[in-house]
Amino acid sequence: MQTVVLAAGRGTRMRPLTDRRLKPMLPVAGRPLVAHTVEAAAEAGASRVVLVVQPDDDSVSDYFGDEHAGVELAYATQTEQRGTADAVRAAAPKLADAPFVVLNGDALYDHDSLAALYERAPAVGAFRVADPTQYGVLLTDEAGERVTGVVEKPADPPSDLVNTGAYALPAEAKRWLDVGESERGELEFTDVLAQACEAFPVSPVAFERWLDVGRPWELLEANEWKLDELDGRVDGDVHADADLAGDVVVEAGATVRSGVVIEGPAYIDAGATVGPNAYVCGATYVGPEAKVGHAVEVKNSVLMADAHAGHLAYVGDSVLGRATNLGAGTKVANLRHDGNAVKMLVKGDVVSTGRRKLGVVLGDGAKTGINTSLNAGVKLPTEGATRPGETVLFDPESEKGRRE
Ligand code: TTP
């Protein structure tokens, strides 16, 4: 079935990681996030994929070209980020008059669940969560067999099934894309779904696994998921005195030096160097040309291209943006002494990440002075810097962060 993948969002909750790149282009286990979406769609039965992209940014089409995972690709430009219905409307001229699937380009789907969505059209992907109050919750008939609508962030959720933003709809839905603005001022695809639910029996398809990658720690969760599926392979240069256990990918052009211990799953991308005498564990992605130097420990983290942790550093449960540099002795805290979930500032609000273990997020080009200590949940802005010996306890962007 023809499939629209939405990749034109602003990604404001993911800042600073989206200051200089689109959210769907964030790295997940060696590929952009959206590549996983397109591959899941291809495996589930997509015949052709139309990617909705932003104007003046060719990163998505530069990466994919006109084919990926055996599926033909086309591109549609959404001129202004007015909402998901508007994004699908941008793709409509490239769609045949036939049923179509819509997927978010910033979500991970498990392949079998997605295949069930394609098979059971008209259908919506539904995912069971413990606390649905922060999601769009699906309304269904009493038997739970037919979707009747979606209610956004309900205080008293009618069910624990949330909308995954994965829809398989009949051709007619193309005619319903001109929706009005929602309360939050966007043109929402859920209003298109509401019309489809009136005209057709739309089934909820329970997804086994799904991850919406909207906030920085969800990038870690995406990498944990996809690194866990890795099959180890060594195409790069690994010193005889290095010790690799579990599934570890060492890409061609990557170097693992003497005395290094890597406990997979881990992915060392092309041109990266690890060691000598470094320890990499948890689900860790070390991006192209990144460096993990002498006596550096990296646990469950994402180091983007050119990120450097050169000497005597600890990086746990953290995301280091492109071309970041940690001064010697930089340490990251990734656990609160009270054992509560680490909080992070997202668009001015301090929110619980739900993670007991979470370190820091560094925007592209951020640098720490020697012996910097970074507290759990801190973000440094793009090109931000710390002084030698500085201790950063709270998100520097917020006085509010200081109070919580
Ligand atoms: P969201 O995650 O709701 O929006 P966003 O990506 O802009 O992020 P944020 O809220 O943090 O600013 O979008 C869901 C999907 O729809 C995502 O894949 C991006 C896509 N999208 C578009 O393609 N065009 C749009 O106008 C919007 C709002 C989203």
Domains and CATH numbers, the chain: 2-214 (3.90.550.10), 227-403 (2.160.10.10)
Residue 373 alpha carbon to ligand 1 centre in Å: 34
Q: Helix or strand or coil: residue 134?
A: helix
Question: What six digits make up the tokens of 126?
Answer: 């539904």
Please, how many CA atoms are within 13 Å of residue 234, restricted to the half-sphere of its CB?
13
Please give the Cα distance from 302 to 309 (Å, whole number).
12
Given ligand 1 and candidates 50, 81, 164, which is best to mutate, with the most ligand atoms within 8 Å of its CB?
81
- Measured in degrees and rounded to the nearest 5, phi and psi for residue 80 equal -130, 145
Closest ligand 1 atom to Cα of 86: 26
ipTM more than 0.90?
yes
| 105 pocket-lining for ligand 1 (C-beta < 6 Å) | yes
Please give the Cα distance from 84 to 165 (Å, whole number).
9
Given ligand 1 and candidates 23, 54, 80, which is best to mutate, with the most ligand atoms within 8 Å of its CB?
23
Element (H, E) at 60: helix 59-64
Task: Supply the residue whose CA is at minimum distance from atom 6 of ligand 1.
Answer: 9
Please give the Cα distance from 294 to 274 (Å, whole number).
8
Question: What six digits make up the tokens of 161?
Answer: 């099934």
Per-residue pLDDT of the chain (404 residues; tens, 9 = 90+): 999 999 998 899 999 999 999 999 999 999 999 999 999 999 999 999 999 999 989 999 999 999 999 999 999 999 999 999 999 999 999 999 999 999 999 999 999 999 999 999 999 999 999 889 988 999 999 888 999 989 988 899 988 999 999 999 999 999 999 988 988 888 999 999 999 999 999 999 999 999 999 999 999 999 999 999 999 999 999 999 999 999 999 999 999 999 999 999 999 999 999 999 999 999 999 999 999 999 999 999 999 999 999 999 999 999 999 999 999 999 999 999 998 999 999 999 999 999 999 999 999 999 999 999 999 999 999 999 999 999 999 887 776 545 44
Element (H, E) at 320: strand 319-320
The predicted pLDDT at position 275 comes to 96
Q: Please give the angle made by the CA atoms of 316, 344 and 17, to the nearest 5 degrees.
A: 75
The predicted pLDDT at position 168 comes to 97
Closest ligand 1 atom to Cα of 13: 11
| 6 pocket-lining for ligand 1 (C-beta < 6 Å) | yes
Residue 188 alpha carbon to ligand 1 centre in Å: 10
Residue 173 alpha carbon to ligand 1 centre in Å: 20
Task: Supply the residue whose CA is at minimum distance from atom 21 of ligand 1.
Answer: 9
Residue 362 alpha carbon to ligand 1 centre in Å: 22
Q: Which residues lie below 8 Å from residue 401, measured CB to CB, with a gap of 6+?
A: 343, 345, 350, 394, 395
Please give the Cα distance from 298 to 283 (Å, whole number).
10
Rg of the chain on CA atoms, in Å: 22
Query: Nearest Cα to 108, choosing from 30, 165, 33?
Result: 33
Q: Helix or strand or coil: residue 5?
A: strand
Question: What six digits make up the tokens of 333?
Answer: 């805290």
Closest ligand 1 atom to Cα of 10: 7
CB 192 within 8 A of CB 135: no
The predicted pLDDT at position 402 comes to 54
Q: Residue 85, class by beta-carbon neighbours within 10 Å (0-12 exposed, 13-18 middle, 19+ buried)?
A: buried
Q: At 185, which amino acid appears?
A: G
Q: Tell the residue number behind the tokens 């979930």, with chain if given.
A: 341
Residue 240 alpha carbon to ligand 1 centre in Å: 46
Question: 49 has which bridge partners?
Answer: 3, 73
189-199 vs 84-91: helix crossing angle, rounded to 10: 80
| 9 pocket-lining for ligand 1 (C-beta < 6 Å) | yes
| 83 pocket-lining for ligand 1 (C-beta < 6 Å) | yes
| 340 pocket-lining for ligand 1 (C-beta < 6 Å) | no
Tally of helices (H runs) and strands (E runs) in the chain: 7, 39
Q: Which residues lie below 8 Å from residue 165, measured CB to CB, with a gap of 6+?
A: 6, 84, 102, 103, 104, 107, 125, 189, 212
Closest ligand 1 atom to Cα of 347: 11
Residue 252 alpha carbon to ligand 1 centre in Å: 35
CA torsion sign for 367, 341, 334, 14 is negative
Q: Helix or strand or coil: residue 63?
A: helix
The predicted pLDDT at position 134 comes to 84
- Measured in degrees and rounded to the nearest 5, phi and psi for residue 374 equal -115, 125
* Number of other residues whose CB lies within 10 A of the CB of residue 377: 29
